[in-house]
């Protein structure tokens, strides 16, 4: 288990999109931008699946994922952890409503197919410089 600090959560929330990296069971990488993301608690983030294709297959075959994000001054973080996919239950229903609200707001036919829950196990800095790649938690 690794806990995000208030600063890490603030930077995560400030970004319009973050990068979600997954891999096939043979290790072929796949990294995609995601905008429908939120923090559930210090150790958990949620991403809504509207369009995941290779990403979803990878997560079904290999539950390890990394989420990377950074701000204007190159401060950035990588959250590594284990994913569960929820397509029913309270968290999924809330996600579906949240995405429905966004769809109405931007007048586009967005629909959540699932809630991707990342349980954070490790946190790294990705800021350039002498501390690049340092494990923070
Ligand atoms: C800025 C941006 C934000 C995106 N946000 C999401 C998102 O929140 N959820 C989602 O399912 N797809 C989102 N997408 C689409 C995915 O990045 C990607 O197209 C999809 O996962 C299909 O690629 P895959 O086959 O590699 O999974 C977004 C794309 C862009 C460019």
CATH number at residue 22: 2.30.110.10
Site to probe by mutation for ligand 1, drawn from 21, 28, 51, 108 as the one with most ligand atoms within 8 Å of Cβ, is 51
Q: Is 78 helix (H, G, I), strand (E, B) or coil?
A: strand
Task: Give 135's pLDDT tier (boundaries 50, 70, 90).
Answer: very high
State the DSSP H helix or E strand holding residue 124, giving kind and residue range, or none if neither: strand 114-125
In a domain, 103, yes or no: no
Which of ligand 1's atoms lies nearest the C-alpha of 54? 25
Interval 78-91 mean pLDDT:
98
For ligand 1, the distance from its centroid to the CA atom of residue 49, given in whole angstroms, is 8
pLDDT at 1 exceeding the cut of 90: no
- Residues of the chain above pLDDT 70, percent: 100
In a domain, 34, yes or no: yes
User: Can you give the C-alpha Rg of the chain in angstroms?
Assistant: 15
In a domain, 19, yes or no: yes
17 lines ligand 1 (CB under 6 A): yes
In a domain, 81, yes or no: yes
For ligand 1, the distance from its centroid to the CA atom of residue 20, given in whole angstroms, is 9
Interval 95-109 mean pLDDT:
97
Task: Give tens-digit pLDDT for 27-75.
Answer: 999 999 999 999 999 999 999 999 999 999 999 999 999 999 999 999 9
> How many structural domains compose the chain?
1
In a domain, 70, yes or no: yes
In a domain, 93, yes or no: no
In a domain, 31, yes or no: yes
Interval 72-83 mean pLDDT:
97
In a domain, 18, yes or no: yes
Closest CA to 37 of 68, 1, 6: 68
Q: Which domain holds residue 29?
A: 6-85+117-125
Interval 108-130 mean pLDDT:
97
**Residue 89 to residue 80: CA distance in whole angstroms:** 25
């Amino acid at each position: 288990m690794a806990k995000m600090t208030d600063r890490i959560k603030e930077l995560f929330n400030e970004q319009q999109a973050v990068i979600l990296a997954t891999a096939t069971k043979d290790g072929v990488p796949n990294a995609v931008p995601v905008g429908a993301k939120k923090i559930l608690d210090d150790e958990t983030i949620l991403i809504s699946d509207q369009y995941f294709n290779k990403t979803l297959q990878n997560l079904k075959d290999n539950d390890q994922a990394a989420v990377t994000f950074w701000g204007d001054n190159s401060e950035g973080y990588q959250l590594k952890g284990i994913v569960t996919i929820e397509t029913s239950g309270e968290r999924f229903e809330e996600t579906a409503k949240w995405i429905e609200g966004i769809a109405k707001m931007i007048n586009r036919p967005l629909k959540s197919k699932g809630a991707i829950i990342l349980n954070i196990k490790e946190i790294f800095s990705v800021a350039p410089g002498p501390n690049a790649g340092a494990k923070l938690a």
